[in-house]
Amino acid sequence: MAVIEFQKVTKAYGDEVDVLRGLDLKVEKGEFLTLLGESGCGKTTMLKIINRMVSFDTGHVWIRGRKLSEWDIVTLRREIGYVIQQIGLFPHMTVMNNVAYVLSLQGIPKVKQRQRAEELMELVGLPQEFLRRYPRELSGGQRQRVGVARALAASPEIILMDEPFGAVDEQTRNLLQDELLNIHQQLQCTIIFVTHDIQEAVKLGTRIVLMNQGRIEQAGTKEELILRPANDFVRRFMGTKGFMALLDEKKMKHLYQQILEEKISMEEVYLRLK
Amino acid sequence: MLISRIFVLYRERSSFFVELFIQHLHITFLAVTLITVIGLTVGILMTRNRWLAGGILRVTSFLFTIPSIALFGVLVSLTGIGLKSALIAIVLYGLLPMIRNTYTGLTEVDREIVEAAVGMGSTPAQLLFRIQLPLAFPVIFSGFRTMVVMTIALGGIASFIGAGGMGRAIWRGISTNFPEMTIAGSLLIAALAIFTDYLLGMIERLVRYRYLGEGGEKHEA
Ligand SMILES: Nc1ncnc2c1ncn2[C@@H]1O[C@H](COP(=O)(O)OP(=O)(O)OP(=O)(O)O)[C@@H](O)[C@H]1O
Ligand SMILES: [Mg+2]
C-alpha cells in the first residue's frame, strides 16, 4: 500500500488557474522523493496538499490508505513532519522547547520531552548545551538542523521538507545533505523533499519527480531521468548538469587525488575523454 | 513660595488627599481592568475576521477624536452623573490603544512562524496561547502602558461628572478660587502618571529583552 497517493489532483488559487493539472503519484514507504522543478511549477502547492495546509479542487489524495478528507486535521499534521523553507523556528522558545513542540502539544511529560530532544540533538549533530539557547543565538546551519530535529520529534512516518537547505552556504548544505541521508537510512521514514537544485535532487532522491507547469513530466530514478528522459523537457532540464551530478562524487574525488599525486596527468584524462 | 504652600496644604488636608488618591486609584484600576479584558478579546476576535477588523478600527479611532469633555457631556445626558458615566467614557478612550496594539501585535507575527506552528498540528487555541500571544506580548504591553497612563490622566477629568478622584481637588480649587488646591491635585495626578509610566517602561524593557534578546529595543512597534 502506498503511503501517499495522488490521483488526478487539480488546483487553482482563485483566478490563478492550472497550478496543478491532474497530478498522479504514488509514494511508497521508505522512499526519499525529491520534487524538482522551476520556480512556480507547483512544488510547494503539492507538498502542502499532503498536510492540508492547502486544499485541492478535484481528484483524490490518500494518506496511508485513508482519504485525506477523512483524517482529523490536527492528528494528520502531528503525524507528518514539516520543515518549511524559512525554517520558522519559534523565537521566544529555547531550542529545547522548539524541538519538543509537537510533543508538548500532545501533552507528553516534560521528562520524556527532554529525553527525546537530547536524542534528536545527537541525531542532527548538535551539542546538548544548545538545548538551552534561543534560535537567535544559532548560526543559519544550526537553525536548519534544529528545524529538522523539530520535524522528527514525534517520529513521523512521513516528513515534508520545502527547500530546507536553501539559505546556507554550499559547504554547510553538503554536510546537511549527508546528515539527512544518514537520518533517512536510520529511521526508514518516507521523505518528500522539494528543491529546484538538480544536484541536490540527484544526490538525495531515491526517486526524482520532475514537475513543469503543474504537471509531472517524469518520475523515476536519477538514471532514468538523466539517461532515459521521457521527453524533450526532461532532457533539456536535466542536461549535462544532471549528468555531472550523476557521476559518482567519490570517483571524481579519487581521480582528482590521483592527479594531485601525479599518478595520472591531466593530459591523460583529456585523452581518455576524447 | 507656592511650592511650600502646596506642601503645607498636603500636610493639613492629608486625609482629604489620601481619600481622593485612593478613589483615583480605584477608578483607574476598574477602568484598566475593563479595558484590558475588552481590548484583548476584541483584538483577538478581529484577527479572525479582516472585515470586522477594519470596521472596529475605524470606530475606535473615531471615538478617540471626540474631545473628552464632549463625550462626558453626551454620556451625562444618557447615563447620568456619577462613576458609571465616567467609567464608560474612560473605557471608550482607552480601548483604542489596547485594541489596536493587540490586533497589530497578533497580525504582525511572522507568517512562516504561524505556518510552522499550524503545519505541526497546533489547534487554534494552542496557536493563540503558545505562539501568537507570547510573540505579540511586547507590542500589546506597550499599548497597555499607553492606555494606563491615559486612564490616570482622564480620571482627573472624570471627577467633573461626579466620579470622585483627584479631579475633585482641581475642581474645588477652581470653583473656590484657590489655586494651590488646583495645583496640588494636578501634581498628584501627574506624579502618579509619571511614576506608573516609568515603572511600566522598565517592565516593558525587560519583556522585550526576554522575548527579543539583545537589541530587542530596536524593534519598535
Ligand atoms: N496563496 C496563493 N494564492 C495565489 N496563487 C498562488 C498562491 N500560492 C501559490 N500560488 C501560485 O501557484 C503557482 C505555484 O506556486 P508554488 O508555490 O507551488 O510554486 P513552487 O514550485 O513551490 O515555486 P518555488 O520554487 O518558487 O517555491 C505559482 O504560479 C504561484 O504564483
Ligand atoms: Mg516553493
- Rounded to whole angstroms, how far apart are CA atoms A180 and A149? 10
Average pLDDT over residues B97-113: 94
Among the residue ranges B63-72, B118-127, B144-153, the one predicted with the least confidence is B63-72
Whether residue B134 lies within 8 A of chain A, CB to CB, comes out as: yes
Q: How far is the CA of A151 from the centre of ligand 2 (A)?
A: 18
Cβ <8 Å between A53 and B115: yes
* Confidence label for B220 from pLDDT (cuts 50, 70 and 90): very low
* Residue-wise burial string across B168-184, b where 16 or more C-beta atoms lie within 10 A, e elsewhere: bbbbbbeeeeeebbbbb
Q: Is the pLDDT of residue A50 over 50?
A: yes
Name the band, by pLDDT with cuts 50, 70 and 90, for residue A51.
very high
pLDDT of the residue at B110: 93
Q: Cα–Cα–Cα angle for B22, B28, B31, nearest 5°?
A: 140
Mean pLDDT is lowest, of A137-141, A251-255, B142-146, B166-170, for A251-255
Best probe of the A interface among B109, B111, B120, by most A CBs < 10 A, is: B120
Distance CA A258, CA B50 (A): 66
* A250 pLDDT tier (thresholds 50, 70, 90): low
Q: How many domains does chain B have?
A: 1
pTM summary value? 0.86
Residue B219 lies in a domain: no
Q: Identity (one letter) of the amino acid at B168?
A: R
Alpha-carbon gap: A226 to the closest alpha carbon of chain B (Å): 34
Helix and strand element counts for chain A (H, E): 12, 10
Atom number of ligand 1 nearest to Cα A194: 22
- For residue B8, tell me if it sits in a domain: no
Rg (CA), chain B: 20
The pLDDT value given to residue B191: 93
**A43 alpha carbon to ligand 1 midpoint, in Å?**
8
Domain ranges of chain A: 2-79+156-273
Cell numbers given for B211:
522575548
Predicted local distance difference test score (pLDDT) of residue A194 = 96
For A117-130, the pLDDT digits (tens) are 999 999 899 999 99
Of A190, A163, A168, A167, which Cα lies nearest the Cα of A43? Answer: A163
- Per-residue pLDDT averaged across A196-221, rounded? 94
Report, as an integer, the average pLDDT of B74-100. Answer: 88
Q: Which residue range is the domain that position B50 belongs to?
A: 14-213
Tell me how far the alpha carbon of residue A47 lies from the centroid of ligand 1, in angstroms.
Answer: 11
Asked if the model's pLDDT at residue B213 lies above 80, the reply is no
Taking a 5 Å cut-off on Cβ, the residues next to ion ligand 2 are: A 44
Whether A103 contacts chain B with CB within 8 A: no
Residues B208 and A154: their CA atoms lie apart, in Å, by 32
Record: contact B116-A84, CB cut-off 8 A:
yes
Asked if pLDDT for residue B217 goes beyond 50, the answer is no
Beta-strand ranges (E) seen in B111-215 are: none
- CATH number for the domain that contains residue B111: 1.10.3720.10
Lowest mean pLDDT, pick from A22-36, B55-69, B117-131, B204-218: B204-218
Task: Residue window 17-46, chain B: list those with CB within 8 Å of chain A.
Answer: none
Indicate the CATH number for domain A2-79+156-273.
3.40.50.300
- Complex ipTM value: 0.88
What pLDDT was estimated at residue A86? 85
Specify if B220 maps to a domain.
Answer: no
What is the tens place of the pLDDT at every residue in B139-180? 999 999 999 999 999 888 888 887 888 888 888 888 898 888
Mean per-residue pLDDT over chain B, rounded: 88
Does residue B99 lie in a domain region? yes
| pLDDT attached to residue B219 | 43
Give me the pLDDT at residue B179, please. 87
User: pLDDT confidence of A206, banded at 50, 70, 90?
Assistant: very high
pLDDT at B215 over 70: no
Ligand 1 lining (C-beta closer than 6 Å): A 13, 16, 19, 37, 39-45, 196
Task: Tell me what pLDDT residue A249 has.
Answer: 67
Sorted by sequence, the CB contacts under 8 Å of residue A151 that are 6+ apart come out as: A81, A82, A83, A159, A161, B120
pLDDT band for B200, please (50, 70, 90 cuts): very high
Choose between B50 and A35: higher pLDDT.
A35
- The pLDDT tens digits of the residues spanning A2-34 come to 999 999 999 999 988 899 999 999 999 999 999
* Length of chain A (residues): 274
For A226, other C-beta atoms within 10 Å of its C-beta total: 23
**Cβ-based contacts of B121 with chain A (< 8 Å):** 74-79, 102, 105
Distance A20 CA to ligand 2 centre (A): 13
| pLDDT at residue number B7 | 87
Share of chain B above pLDDT 90, in %: 49
Name the average pLDDT for chain A.
Answer: 92
